[in-house]
Amino acid sequence: MDDPQHDSDLALLAAWRSGDAAAGNQLCLRFQPKLRRFFGSKAPPPEVDELVQQTWLALAQAATRGSEAPVRTCFRGYLFGIARHVVLAYYRKHSRRDDFDPEVESIETLMPSLSRQLSLQRRVKQLELALQSLPLELQLLAEARYVEELSGRELAEIFGIPEATVRTRLFRARRLIDEALERLELRG
């Protein structure tokens, strides 16, 4: 299935790489809140903007090195792959240990601080607000799946709907939660 958003992202990237600054600005506007949210759960609040900027810079530098092939399939995946490398580099640089291993280390062990705890509390509150913005039936379904960890079959039985409908409604709930979180980020 063709995704017009995906095609639009790739077109904007191609235009930006060809020198169209407005296309680059549009990409930034489209993905800035998503990148902020990505880094907001992984870095101290004062570092988030810097990490977002490093991601855009790395994307621009990749274009000048001719690293265009990976983008042909999924711009969003490529962008968040860069963001992943940026956050790993950040923790390698700031780790108190020489043998930093992202397969073992957690954010909590790397940067336990009051500001980190406050940031996590803020994120939990935002998630609660996002869940509460859903229609009640979707909120109940999402909480049963993600908080109570009920299976699709159990949810189908509880809600009296086919499993395929459960999956469709969970997809819709996740999309609405993402939109609500973006709105909360923009307000916050």
DSSP state of 72: G
- 74: domain CATH number is 1.10.1740.10
Range scoring the smallest mean pLDDT among 21-35, 70-84, 158-172 = 70-84
**115 with 44: CB under 8 angstroms?**
yes
Report percent pLDDT > 70 for the chain.
Answer: 78
CA nearest neighbour of 55 among 82, 78, 30: 82
Alpha carbons 143 and 149: distance in angstroms, whole number: 8
Mean pLDDT, the chain, rounded, equals: 82
| Residues in contact with 133: Cβ distance below 8 Å, sequence separation at least 6, in sequence order | 176, 180
pLDDT digit string (tens) for 110-161?
665 656 667 777 888 888 999 999 999 999 999 989 888 889 998 999 889 9
Residue 141: the pLDDT is 92
Are 91 and 143 in a shared domain? no
Q: Are 69 and 42 in contact (CB under 8 A)?
A: no
Q: What is the mean pLDDT of residues 100-107?
A: 63
**Structural domain that includes position 177:** 114-187
- Taking phi over 0 as left and psi of -120 to 50 as alpha, with beta for the rest, 135 belongs to beta
- pLDDT of 109 above 80: no
- 24 and 94 share a domain? yes
Same structural domain for residues 164 and 183? yes
Is the same domain home to 93 and 140?
A: no
Write the Ramachandran bin of 172: left for phi over 0, alpha for psi from -120 to 50, otherwise beta: alpha
- For residue 188, the model assigns a pLDDT of 61
